[in-house]
Amino acid sequence: MVKIALLGAAGQIGTPLSLLCKASDLFDEISLYDIVHVPGIATDLNHIDTRGRVSGHLPEDSGLKKALSGADVVVVTAGIARKPGMTRDDLFRTNAGIIRDIFTEIAATCPQAMCCVVTNPVNSTLPVATEVLKKAGVFNPTHIFGVTTLDVVRASTFVAHALGDNVDPKDFKVPVIGGHSGATILPLYSQAQPPVKLDDETLATVINRVQFGGDEIVKSKQGAGSATTCMAYAGFRFVKALLAGKRGEPITEEAFVYLPGIPGGKEIAADLGVDYFAVKIQLGKTGATKALPIGKISEDETKLLEVALKDLRANIATGLSFMA
Ligand code: LMR
């Protein structure tokens, strides 16, 4: 029996993510939670001929508790999204409170669940979530992830776009480390497989597009929000990886994590001087089983890493001071 709880399921990421989960046949139970509309969305999804039962829960009658009860995996997409002219940090004031309240209930109801935080700004909301779990005495660093998979998806996609029309993004594996916001997003094209051959100017353009891919969508949507379908796709890819790990299949994905609590992470954290950072994580039956070393990076990437770390330290401090 596998149960997933999707919090924020009536939102523009949550709804397509619910569809992907229901269509996948990977779940016996899918519980949707939001402040509006989810009972109807659940009924709608339940007309799909896959076996997972979908339930919708509103805040009344302990709806959040019911949605979380017995959950193996929780994905949090709840919160507000960016409008043109906003940075992810502008979302913090509203979304930090939402994350705090949700994780307070997670701590009480399903502290053993694997939790995926999509709600922005991830660089700050993940520290909020971990602090809530720490204060409740149920923090398991191998079970909580800031979802950065969209950056990895973009890194493959945008290099394929730069290389030509007939190039399949799936042919490229590009590690992306750091965080999930602007300069904190660091695609490591020097480690791309197969190796990427682009002139310096084109490569710099591709890196910038990965770092600011979110802004590209915000601008294009002209006030109607930010990434939704590609974020749902990426979030679902991460959930699938978690489940594959749980089944004992060898799999890695990048994620923004609390490094000191994951085998191999302490050394990386000491090296970088930050506790929260996105690296490639080995996933297993017990969640994150290993943080993989960053490896050799180019001179240009080293410079970008310094910039990323500076921004990231500030973002992490914002999250921690909210909970202090
Ligand atoms: C993204 O990367 O597209 C998302 O984090 C949404 C945003 O605000 O940019």
Ligand 1 centroid – CA 11 distance (Å): 14
Contact 31 CB / ligand 1 (< 6 Å)? no
Check residue 165 and give its pLDDT: 84
**Is residue 232 within 8 Å of residue 17, measured between CB atoms?**
yes
Residue 96 has φ and ψ, to the nearest 5°, of: -65, -40
**234-248: b or e for each residue (b if 16 or more CB lie within 10 Å)?**
bbbbbbbbbbbbbee
Atom of ligand 1 nearest to the CA of 91: 8
Q: Which residue type does 153 have?
A: V
Contact 12 CB / ligand 1 (< 6 Å)? no
**Is residue 159 within 8 Å of residue 174, measured between CB atoms?**
yes
Mutation choice for ligand 1 from 12, 86, 88, CB with most ligand atoms inside 8 A: 88
Whether the complex's predicted ipTM is more than 0.90 is answered with: yes
Ligand 1 centroid – CA 215 distance (Å): 7
Check residue 213 and give its pLDDT: 98
- Whether residue 39 has a cis bond before it, omega within 30° of 0: no
Nearest CA to ligand 1 atom 7: 214
Contact 147 CB / ligand 1 (< 6 Å)? no
Contact 214 CB / ligand 1 (< 6 Å)? yes
Ligand 1 centroid – CA 147 distance (Å): 11
Give the pLDDT confidence of 68-127 residue by residue, as tens digits. 999 999 999 999 999 999 999 999 999 999 999 999 999 999 999 999 999 999 999 999
Contact 320 CB / ligand 1 (< 6 Å)? no
Check residue 23 and give its pLDDT: 98
Active site residue 37: no
Check residue 206 and give its pLDDT: 98
Annotate the chain with three-state secondary structure.
CCEEEEECCCCCCHHHHHHHHHHHCCCCEEEEECCCCHHHHHHHHCCCCCCCEEEEECCCCCHHHHHHCCCCEEEECCCCCCCCCCCHHHHHHHHHHHHHHHHHHHHHHCCCCEEEECCCCHHHHHHHHHHHHHHCCCCCHHHEEECCHHHHHHHHHHHHHHHCCCCCHHHCECCEEECCCHHHEEECHHHCECCCCCCHHHHHHHHHHHHCHHHHHHHHHCCCCCCCHHHHHHHHHHHHHHHHHHCCCCEEEEEEEEHHHCCCHHHHHHHHCCCEEEEEEEEECCEEEEECCCCCCCHHHHHHHHHHHHHHHHHHHHHHHHHC
Residues of the chain with pLDDT under 70: none
Nearest CA to ligand 1 atom 2: 214
Helix 149-163 vs helix 200-211: crossing angle, to nearest 10: 150
